[in-house]
Amino acid sequence: MTMSVPERSSGSGGKEEESEDESEILEESPCGRWQKRKEQVSQGNVPGIESASLAMDTEEGVEVVWNEVQFSDKKVFKALEDKIKEMFENLMQVEHPNIVKFHKYWLDMRESGARVIFITEYMSSGSLKQFLKKTKKNHKTMNVKAWKRWCTQILSALSYLHSCDPPIIHGNLTCDTIFIQHNGLIKIGSVWHRLFVNAFPEAVHGQVRHHRDEQRNLHFFAPEYGLAEDDYAIDIFSFGICALEMAVLEIQANGDAVVPKEAITHAGQSLEDPLMREFIQSCVRHDAKKRPTAHDLLFHRVLFEVHSLKLLAAHCLINNQYLLPENCVEEKTKSFDPNAVMAEIQHTDRPGVQLRYSHVSPLELDKFLEDVKNGIYPLMNFAPPRPHPMPRALSLSQEHMETVKTPTPEPQETETRKVVQMHCNLESNEEGTKTHLTLFLKMEDKLHRQLSCDILPADSSKDLANELVHFAFISEEDCDMLAGFLEEALSDQLT
């Protein structure tokens, strides 16, 4: 979304009023955290959504999307309520850097009907389709490195979804439901589409509009779509068409509403790189059984832009960065001898290869680490294929029903994620009257928490741990473990 600054002239009144009108708060979530605005947003072709509005997350201070699904028949809604809750609880657990985040949901019963309201991440930079159109308009061609990074990120998300237990089939993957951020991070949205269609195809108010009615996107869907049971192969076909559009910027339809097969074939043949051509052709095979899996595609030669050892080392550094001093990478690179050997590959039948520190620019290294941290180089393709069971709820996801927001404080949400790693740093002041504690926690969903406070001699480890539970920084189950950890750390400091 682009924000325009109202002009300081006599004619600016209308624009200012319009802006104020769009930012008007229409509704609040029962807990008061999410505030719905008047401004409508489009976040891809998502059938079944009655409306999607811009909203504000008052806790994080960021914009989000407020989605609504309407039920005109309350009896049907009540009959499906348990199924709806189960579906949305599963969606709450989908956690991947290349998937649009599903934040929260709640149910709303009214006299006129019922609603399911859910909050999703707002992708302000727009869809991949919009980006490709702008690139073509500026008479530019697609950068091959960018294409590889995009394909890797999309496949990483698909591999994650397909390996969930039970598997999640996207079923609506197009360049309109893939979003790109300013830093190059790709996220796929509309993950809930097939779940909506399968869960309540006729119960939604106005019925779920079948996405294939969108003629311009028909070519993204596999020939067997709708004729057989959902399978990962339909997503692979859609991905292949997305990869082709990303490579050629646009598949020419010669003014037709539907992109013909001939245009797809011609676009594929226009690719100069034979590996890229073979990669895409394997995805769009007519026989679904012959299409590769997302995990297999991640190992295709055309996508290997970064050496696996470099990527593994970067992820290891990022995951344990809270254990390292600040700016440690920058300080370490300054001390290296440019001519020193960094790595060496030895061969028995031919000369070996030596890599020296002078071959790597510190600036390039910083940029690469930042990209890894942002999720642009996922590690999913180096992990063995395994089922991802949906974890238990990470936090209270079902908001309590309230007709009127109460003025009394809302109960504090509790933390249910387990702590998997702990580390702390203790520094006493010169007088010895207090100790500054810095606590580093790594949660089971890979969230890193850094907490700090001053401890007085009278403070007990148990009280500190109870306080962390009270403010939902740790779960009650971890209270005794953390208290013991702090007790041991404080004892070691005294000895």
Q: pLDDT tens for residues 298-307?
A: 888 888 777 7
Instruction: Report the pLDDT averaged over residues 443-459.
Output: 80
pLDDT per residue as tens digits for the range 256-266: 667 888 888 88
Question: Domain of 312?
Answer: 306-336+362-388
| Distance of alpha carbon 270 from alpha carbon 71, whole angstroms | 48
| Distance of alpha carbon 177 from alpha carbon 172, whole angstroms | 7
| Residue 408 belongs to some domain of the structure | no
Which pLDDT belongs to residue 256? 63
Q: Which of 138-142, 279-283, 328-332, 454-458 has the highest mean pLDDT?
A: 279-283
Secondary structure E strands in 401-485: 419-428, 435-443, 448-455
Which pLDDT belongs to residue 285? 93
| Distance of alpha carbon 13 from alpha carbon 3, whole angstroms | 16
The β-bridge partners of 66 are 53, 119
Domain end (from 370, 388, 406): 388
Instruction: Report the pLDDT averaged over residues 140-150.
Output: 87
* CA angle 324–330–332, rounded 5-degree value: 75
Q: Are residues 125 and 208 in the same domain?
A: yes
Q: Is the pLDDT of residue 220 over 80?
A: yes
Q: Are residues 293 and 311 in the same domain?
A: no
| Residue 350 belongs to some domain of the structure | no
Instruction: Report the pLDDT averaged over residues 412-422.
Output: 79
Number of domains within the chain: 3
Q: Is the pLDDT of residue 89 over 80?
A: yes
Of residues 55 and 124, more confidence is placed in 55
Q: Are residues 317 and 267 in the same domain?
A: no
Instruction: Report the pLDDT averaged over residues 122-138.
Output: 88
Q: Are residues 320 and 449 in the same domain?
A: no
Looking up tokens 């399968």 gives: 198
Instruction: Report the pLDDT averaged over residues 139-154.
Output: 88
Range of weakest confidence among 184-188, 304-308, 458-462, 469-473: 304-308
Q: Is the pLDDT of residue 485 over 60?
A: yes
| Distance of alpha carbon 484 from alpha carbon 447, whole angstroms | 22
Q: Are residues 64 and 168 in the same domain?
A: yes
| Residue 414 belongs to some domain of the structure | no
Chain-centroid distance, C-alpha 317? 21
Q: Are residues 375 and 324 in the same domain?
A: yes
Chain-centroid distance, C-alpha 469? 27
| Residue 355 belongs to some domain of the structure | no
Q: Are residues 30 and 179 in the same domain?
A: yes
Which pLDDT belongs to residue 401? 37
120-135 b/e with 16+ CB inside 10 Å = b?
bbbbeebbbbebbeeb
**What global pTM score does this model have?**
0.66
Instruction: Report the pLDDT averaged over residues 123-150.
Output: 87
Which pLDDT belongs to residue 7? 39
Q: Are residues 39 and 140 in the same domain?
A: yes
Q: Is the pLDDT of residue 10 over 50?
A: no
Q: Are residues 452 and 469 in the same domain?
A: yes
Per this entry, what is the length of the chain? 495
Q: Are residues 290 and 315 in the same domain?
A: no
Which pLDDT belongs to residue 60? 86
Confidence of residue 391 (pLDDT cuts 50, 70, 90): very low
Q: Is the pLDDT of residue 64 over 90?
A: yes
| Residue 247 belongs to some domain of the structure | yes
Q: Are residues 162 and 268 in the same domain?
A: yes
Confidence of residue 392 (pLDDT cuts 50, 70, 90): very low
Q: Are residues 288 and 329 in the same domain?
A: no
| Residue 285 belongs to some domain of the structure | yes
Which pLDDT belongs to residue 240? 95
| Distance of alpha carbon 123 from alpha carbon 126, whole angstroms | 6
- Least Cα distance to 262 among 272, 271, 253, 270 occurs for 253
| Residue 128 belongs to some domain of the structure | yes
| Residue 406 belongs to some domain of the structure | no
Mean pLDDT computed over every residue of the chain:
78
Confidence of residue 319 (pLDDT cuts 50, 70, 90): confident
User: Around Cβ 239, how many Cβ atoms within 10 Å?
Assistant: 26
CATH of the domain at 231: 1.10.510.10
Asked if residue 418 lies in contact with residue 443, where contact means CB atoms within 8 angstroms, the answer is yes
CATH of the domain at 481: 3.10.20.90
Secondary structure E strands in 94-185: 102-110, 113-121, 164-165, 178-180
Domain end (from 246, 274, 299): 299
Instruction: Report the pLDDT averaged over residues 132-160.
Output: 89
388-418 b/e with 16+ CB inside 10 Å = b?
beeeeebeebebeeeeeeeeeeeeeeebbbe
Q: Is the pLDDT of residue 286 over 80?
A: yes
